[in-house]
Structure 1
Amino acid sequence: MTLLDRALSAEHRDVLDRAEEFATETVGPRAEDIEDTREFPRDVVEAAGDAGLLGILVPEEYGGMGSDFLSYCLALERIAEESGAVAEIIQGHTFATLPVLNFGTDAQRERLLPKMVAGESVGAMLLTEPGAGSSPTELQTVAAATDDGYEISGEKSFGTNAGVADVHLVVARRRPQPEDSHGVSVFLVPNPEDVEGFTFERGEYLGMHGHVTGDASFDEVAVDADALLGSVGEGFRIAMGTIDMARTGLGAIGCGIAQAAFSEAIEYAGDREQGGKAVGEYQAVQVLVAEMDSRLESARHLVYDSAVRIADGEGDTRVSSRAKFTASDAAEFCTRNAMQIFGGKGYRTDYPLERYYRDARILSIIGGTSEIQKTTVASEALGL
């Protein structure tokens, strides 16, 4: 029994059991189809809602489970073992749901959360811009005040679930800008099909097929006054308020992908014979297996250390940053070396390893690059 296993409550085990069933019975059988068609798997999202996995962090009054962040990471890692794309879809949806929960009015919560928890409504957070990255203080998207609401104009990039979401949380600068505020606020915008002036162009990416992201454009998109989430000028706090959670969640996805590749490599090394003995009996392969095992377990401990701290209300940016970049590195290392153990077969598209490898690659980029994470950890350690 691991240290983590000893720390799990009955509630944690219930969530993990739900994730196991969902991953095994729903995600696993659909993973290759999602990969091949690249279509957004709305049916899988709805099934996640049915399993209660979209409301792990949402109170029961809105249909959620009211559990903690450790439960969320346990579930996300297991789902990522079957499909990194599905795990990232759930991650993007969750971090659009939480701002509604934490900053929405009672009316917004009652209108949006039950459907988001059930998987009937998909969420997306649109922060990143072509010329500003993810820095809220440099955003160019504006929301001009009108007599009955706002008109939003600007461009966004890379938002998970963008374009297919039913509710987009768009971070923009309010105009005119209020005194004593940089004016960054968050606005709730429906699906592009339901809004004039909102267009979306999906991008095609190396991995995470089925996970939809791309470029969103807003040309004087009109929204009502009640589309404002939280208060004017509160956008920076909303956008950055879950950053430690988001980075830790991405770390859990990395652990899940790494575990999938490691499991495949172990099975193959035990079954495949070369030169009259199993591949796993060769010292060169054993060295790779040992390094994969230690990097995965090291990453997992850092991720769950961060998750437990967040669950206890003691989230820490240094802890979450080191968890993210360590897990991202472990995912790349394990997927690349699992392919090495498989040899030429690992490079074939009818084996899952090349999918794991492509899915793992994005983790060191999204949610803040590994270089940014390392700078954050070093700055915190050095007191800079």
Structure 2
Amino acid sequence: MDLIEAALGDEHREIRDRADEFATDVVRPRADDIEQTDEFPRDVMEAAGEMGLLGLLLPDGYGDLSSDFLGYCLAVERIAAESGAVAESIQGHTFAALPIARFGTDAQHDRYLDRMASGDAVGAMLLTEPDAGSSPSQLSTVAEATDDGYRLSGQKAFGTNAGVADVHLVVARRRPQPDDSHGVSVFLVPSVDETPGFAFERVEYMGMRGHVTGDSTLDDVSVPADALLGEVGQGFRIAMGTIDMARTGLGAIGTGLARGAFDLAVDYASAREQGGSAIGEYQAVQVLVADMYAQLVSARHLVYSSANRIAEGAPDTRASSAAKLTGSEAAEFVTRNAIQIYGGKGYRTDEPLERYFRDAKILSLIGGTSEIQRTTIARETLDL
């Protein structure tokens, strides 16, 4: 029994089993279709809600299954082993629901959380901007107070589930803009179809097909006063309050992609014969398998070490950056070498490995690039 297995309680095993059932019975049969159509898998999100996997981090009473952050990472890793797009859609949704749970009013809880836990409503966080990246202190999207609420104007880039979400958490600065982050606030904006002045243009990527993101424009979008999440000026805390969790979750998704590709490669190396022997008997293939295994297990241990710290109420920025870095790099390394083991067959679009390979790349870019993670790890280590 390895250290991860030994650390799991009955609750964690229940969540892992539920996630395995969902991944096997729901995600696996839909993964290729999601890839081919590139359509947001709302039916899969609804199924995740029905199985309790969208309310894992919400307070008791929202869904029939709740857990700590270690349980969440167990679930998202297993889902990513079947589809990175589904896992990332769930991740984006989860980190839109969690701020509402933490900072929302009772009325906002009643309006959104039951629906988000069930999958009836999808969430998105709109933080990143074309010229400001994800720095809340440099945002140009503004919120101007009106007699009955706020008027939002600006542009947002990326944002998992943007455009298809039923509720968007829009991070904006109050007008006039102060010189620091204290004017940053978060507003709950309904779907594009329900909101005049709110437009969305989807951007296509090389991977994560079915995962929807793109460019959002808010042109004098009016929202009522009760659309404010938390207090005016609390947006920096809301936007950045889950960053360690989000990065660790991305590490879990990377680990899941690596796990899916590794399992396929091992099965293929054991079954595929060349020259009268399984190709797994050749030393060149064995070296690849050994290196893939080492990267996968190393990433998994760092991810779950960080997740356990968060679950215990002691998040560690260095640990979350290390988890995100190693998880995303393991995903790239393992998927690339799994294709190498498959040979030309692995490059075919009717084989899942090329999908895993394309999906893996984005993980080294979102949530802070690998270079940013290395800088963060170094600065935390050197106490700079």
Same fold per superposition (TM over 0.5):
yes
Matched, 1:80 2:80: yes
Q: Distance in 2 between matches of 1:184 and 1:341?
A: 50
Partner of 1:313, secondary structure, is coil
Give the superposition deviation at 1:176: 3.6
SS in 1 for 2:61: helix
Shift of 1:64: 5.4
Amino acid corresponding to residue 134 of structure 1 in structure 2? S
- The one-letter amino acid of 2:332's match is E
Equivalent-residue separation in structure 1 for 2:180 and 2:275 (angstroms): 74
Mark the CA change 1:315 to 1:282 in structure 2 (over 3 Å): closer, same or farther: same
Q: 1:76 to 1:177 in 2, by over 3 A?
A: same
1:323 alignment counterpart: 323
What are the residue-to-residue correspondences of 1:1-384 with 2, within 5 Å? 1-63=1-63, 65-177=65-177, 182-384=182-384
CA apart distance, 1:61: 2.6
Q: Is the 8 A contact 1:64 1:117 kept in 2?
A: no
Contact 2:136–2:181 (Cα < 8 Å) also in 1: no
Give the % identical residues. 71
Question: Following TM superposition, by how much is the alpha carbon of 1:214 offset from its aligned partner in structure 2, in angstroms?
Answer: 0.2
Q: Distance in 2 between matches of 1:91 and 1:178?
A: 32
Q: Structure 1: state its 5+ residue gaps.
A: none
User: In structure 1, what is the Cα distance between the partners aligned to 2:276 and 2:179?
Assistant: 77
Residue 60 of structure 1 deviates from its aligned partner by 2.0
Residues 375, 237 of structure 1: CA spacing in aligned structure 2 closer, same or farther, 3 A cutoff?
same
The 1-side partners of 2:180 and 2:302 are apart by 39
Q: In structure 2, the residue corresponding to 1:173 is in which secondary structure?
A: strand
**Residue aligned with 1:368, SS:** coil
Assess, with a 3 A threshold, how the Cα gap between structure 1 residues 179 and 131 changes in structure 2: closer, same or farther: closer
In 1, distance between residues paired with 2:326 and 2:40? Answer: 29
Give the drift of 1:178: 7.3
Q: Aligned partners of 1:240 and 1:303: how far apart in 2?
A: 19
Deviation of 1:2 (Å)? 1.4
Shift of 1:62: 3.1
- Unmatched 5+ residue regions in structure 2? none
**Amino acid corresponding to residue 128 of structure 1 in structure 2:** T
Instruction: Provide the TM-score with structure 2 as the length reference.
Output: 0.98
Name the CA distance, whole Å, in 2 between partners of 1:135 and 1:116: 27
Is the 8 Å Cα contact of residues 173 and 184 (structure 1) preserved in structure 2?
Answer: yes
Asked whether the equivalents of residues 137 and 180 of structure 2 are also in contact (C-alpha less than 8 Å), the reply is: no
User: Using the alignment, how far apart are the partners of 1:62 and 1:32 within structure 2?
Assistant: 31
What code does the residue aligned with 2:259 have?
Q
Looking at structure 1, the residues matched to 133 and 26 of structure 2 have their Cα atoms a distance apart, in angstroms, of: 35
- Give the Cα separation in 2 of the matches to 1:283 and 1:179: 61
How far residue 179 of structure 1 moved from its aligned partner, in angstroms, is 10
Retained in 1: the 8 A contact 2:182–2:236?
no
- Report how far residue 17 of structure 1 moved: 1.0
What SS is found at the alignment partner of 1:82? coil
| 1:138, distance to aligned residue in structure 2 (A) | 0.4
| Number of residue pairs matched by the alignment | 384
| Amino acid aligned to 2:198 | F
Asked if the contact 1:57–1:65 (Cα under 8 Å) also holds between the matched residues in 2, the reply is no
Over the aligned positions, Cα root-mean-square deviation in angstroms equals 1.1
With normalisation by structure 1, the TM-score equals 0.98
Give the C-alpha shift of residue 352 in structure 1: 0.4
Find the aligned partners of 1:34 and 1:73 in 2 and give their Cα distance: 23
User: 3-state SS of the aligned residue for 1:207?
Assistant: coil
Equivalent residues of 1:58, 1:65 under 8 A apart? no
Question: 1:137-167: per-residue Cα shift (whole Å, max 9, x none)?
Answer: 0000001100000110000000000000000
SS at match of 2:156: strand
Q: Distance in 2 between matches of 1:181 and 1:114?
A: 31
